[in-house]
Amino acid sequence: MPLLEVCDLEAGYGPIRAVQGVSLDVIEGEIVAIIGANGAGKTTLLLAISGVVATRKGTVRFMGQSITGMPSHEIVRLGIGHAPEGRRIFPRLSVRENLELGAFCRTDRGAIVRDIEEICSLFPVLGQRMSQMGGTLSGGEQQMLALGRAMLSRPKLLLLDEPSLGLAPIVVSKIFEVIAGFTARGIAVVLVEQNARAALKLASRGWVLETGRVSLFANAETLASDPRVRDAYLGDA
């Protein structure tokens, strides 16, 4: 049984149908990549899975249970973490408060403290900035905070929306290193990325979205060598 099963999903805003009949599935502990141009519907797809954008048609099932139409805060509780596009950390809360909010739905205080310490050893710079306001962090630090915050709900599945966007190469490789480590923790990942090359290296399978529909779906290796993908998303001449 797949961990996440999206079936014929349709979602959008007002008259805009950003996602039109997308199906995909994620198995436990697996990383899958979703690539596509700007406006292809990648972000909307993730937001619909998380219940932020209403699903108009189709179903989303998580661990065999339907989560279609469920409010976001309950979906988080079931085990889907989401590091949204643009990071969206809380700018006027301290780094510590941002992380504590990541564990908002948990009550195991001792374990939360240990998990925060672990995040700080993963991203030492966050440990140094615990009492600083989130909004004063650099872009890379904010992305680390967003990842740490999403991890603190102890998800079984993480939705990551453009975690490398606008970051320096050295930060990008650090972030991808951490994402690669999620498999060992038993966390499955849906990775939405502009940086298709790096995403397909991490992922086992990938989907290509074009104007709200799946145009290609294959193993990551197959996708990375597909001429259409190479032309459009990998920048090979």
CB closer to other proteins, 41 vs 102: 102
Give the shortest CB-214-to-other proteins separation in angstroms: 24
CB closer to other proteins, 172 vs 196: 172
**45, HSE (Cβ side, Cα atoms, 13 Å):** 36
Neighbour-count burial of 122, counting CB atoms closer than 10 A to its CB (0-12 exposed, 13-18 middle, 19+ buried): middle
The edge-to-edge listing of strands for the beta sheet with 65-66 is 16-26, 4-13, 55-62, 65-66
Give the shortest CB-89-to-other proteins separation in angstroms: 7
Give the shortest CB-25-to-other proteins separation in angstroms: 22
CB closer to other proteins, 149 vs 174: 149
**CA separation for the pair 180, 201 (Å, rounded):** 10
- In sequence order, the β-bridge partners of residue 121 are none
**CA separation for the pair 100, 81 (Å, rounded):** 14
CB closer to other proteins, 148 vs 206: 148
Give the shortest CB-46-to-other proteins separation in angstroms: 10
CB closer to other proteins, 63 vs 133: 133
Give the shortest CB-14-to-other proteins separation in angstroms: 10
CB closer to other proteins, 8 vs 118: 118
- Interface residues with other proteins (CB under 8 A) are 50-52, 71-73, 76-77, 82, 84, 88-93, 97, 100-102, 104-105, 133, 135-139, 142, 149-150, 153
Give the shortest CB-131-to-other proteins separation in angstroms: 14
**CA separation for the pair 223, 221 (Å, rounded):** 5
The label of the residue with tokens 């797809």 reads 45
Q: Give the max Cα distance, the chain.
A: 53
Give the shortest CB-59-to-other proteins separation in angstroms: 21
**CA separation for the pair 193, 197 (Å, rounded):** 9
The edge-to-edge listing of strands for the beta sheet with 157-161 is 80-83, 157-161, 188-193, 31-36, 205-210, 213-219
Report which of 9, 21, 104, 7 is spatially closest to residue 53, judged by C-alpha positions.
9
CB closer to other proteins, 93 vs 122: 93
CB 124 within 8 A of CB 158: no
Task: Output the six-digit token pair for 106.
Answer: 């948990």
